[in-house]
Amino acid sequence: MITDLRLQHFRSYTDSSFELSPGVNIIVGPNASGKTNLLEAVMMVAIGRSFRARDEELKQFEAEWARLDAHTITGQRSVLLEEKVLGVQKSFVIDEQKLSRLTLHKTLPVVLFEPNHLLLLHGSPELRRAYLDDLLEQLITGYKQVRRHYRRALSQRNALLKLGYAQAKHQLFAWNLRLSELGEQVVRYRQQLVDDINVDMAATYSELADKKTAVVGRYLSDAAVESYGSYLLKKLESHNELDCQRGFTAYGPQRDDLELLINDKPASQVASRGELRSLVLALKIIELKLMERIHNKPPLLLLDDVFSELDGARRRALTEHLKDNQTFITTTDADVVVKGFTSKALIIPLEASLNSQKKG
């Protein structure tokens, strides 16, 4: 839990401080008042990254540095972004210990719900792969490294492919082997996460929909997890020349997908708009449960401009599940949000001109 937060030269904030509630914090203001920027700051303090921008974009343009300082119920956390010759360098101070990156046990668990997530089930497969991978980074020690290493190996193989088969053929086996080893790890972790989601998916969705419904997630891949490494190596080896002609790697976890089925039919094809939103909301509620189970403490919940997108029944369901979490909700209309809570919520009002903003 974060008790207070100071932002210096971060996004639209030159120097602003906020006292925070351990319960619900409602960040209200017009567009361009810095609501989402404040959520980004919370996420940076918690897990060391933004959900919508690179580190280079977080520091104010002419500033040499940006800094976030927060107190929690157990200590103090700081994030520093400094302009260096080779770009922006990020560092952290956690309880007086300086770190160049945050390992999983140094993070605060976070669940984010933002407008793009409402497109999760009928948008690009890339959204669903990123959803699984982002969640795994917060659940599994070491997955962040596996993901990074796979991306790097894939990038190296794709660069080699662009040289043409005559130049690339003698070097491809080493990268094929590396990709198949890392790809098997990625797929194994993703499949396990989908299995964990399925434990609660039908019950959670049925509660939201107020009717018993068969709902299951299915990880879509070309091969079973048990044989994935050998399958991928064979595919890569047999498609070396064709991949060179294409200029990219046509097989691997970067081509997989997640599908949700309602009564044995693809939700993306048969679900109504309201049902799709209930499915996404069910996923978010399950995230909260998984995160708390792994970290043994309630995660922070960030809701970026989605509360007003849910109808009354879904709002009530969400507020019921977040009652034990420190929650941050952005909105242009506080009245829509406040009436959903029986306990007192802290209102943090922002104005279009941040220099004259009120403190919540």
Specify the amino acid at residue 231.
Y
Chain segment 124-147, per-residue pLDDT in tens:
999 999 999 999 999 999 999 999
pLDDT band at 342 (very low <50, low <70, confident <90, very high): low
pLDDT band at 358 (very low <50, low <70, confident <90, very high): very low
Q: Where are the beta strands (DSSP E) in the chain?
A: 2-10, 13-19, 24-28, 65-72, 76-84, 87-94, 97-99, 110-113, 215-220, 257-262, 265-266, 300-304, 327-331, 346-349
C-alpha 228/C-alpha 268 separation (Å) is: 26
Chain segment 298-339, per-residue pLDDT in tens:
999 999 988 877 888 888 888 877 778 999 999 988 887 877
Chain segment 223-241, per-residue pLDDT in tens:
999 999 999 999 999 999 9
Domain at 1-109+297-360: CATH code: 3.40.50.300
Are the beta carbons of 32 and 56 closer than 8 angstroms? no
Cβ atoms < 10 Å from Cβ of 118:
18
pLDDT at 215: 96
C-alpha 73/C-alpha 325 separation (Å) is: 14
pLDDT band at 343 (very low <50, low <70, confident <90, very high): low
Chain segment 190-219, per-residue pLDDT in tens:
999 999 999 999 999 998 888 899 999 999
Burial class (CB in 10 A: 0-12, 13-18, 19+), 286: buried
Task: At 64, list the tokens.
Answer: 């040499």
C-alpha 143/C-alpha 65 separation (Å) is: 30
User: Is the full-model pTM beyond 0.85?
Assistant: yes
Q: What string of DSSP letters covers 21-81?
A: -SSEEEEE--TTSSHHHHHHHHHHHHHSS-SS--GGGTB-TT-SEEEEEEEESS-EEEEEE
pLDDT at 355: 42
- Which residues, including other chains, have CB under 8 Å from residue 257's CB and lie 6 or more apart? 125, 128, 129, 219, 220
Count of helix runs (H) and strand runs (E) in the chain: 11, 14
Beta pairing partners, 10: 13, 59
C-alpha 216/C-alpha 147 separation (Å) is: 25
Position 47 pLDDT exceeds 70: yes
pLDDT band at 354 (very low <50, low <70, confident <90, very high): very low
Phi first, then psi: give them for residue 120, nearest 5 degrees: -55, -45
Task: Give Rg (Cα) of the chain.
Answer: 22
Domain residue spans of the chain:
1-109+297-360
Question: Which of 200, 318, 222, 218 is CA-nearest to residue 262?
Answer: 218
Position 357 pLDDT exceeds 60: no
Burial class (CB in 10 A: 0-12, 13-18, 19+), 11: buried
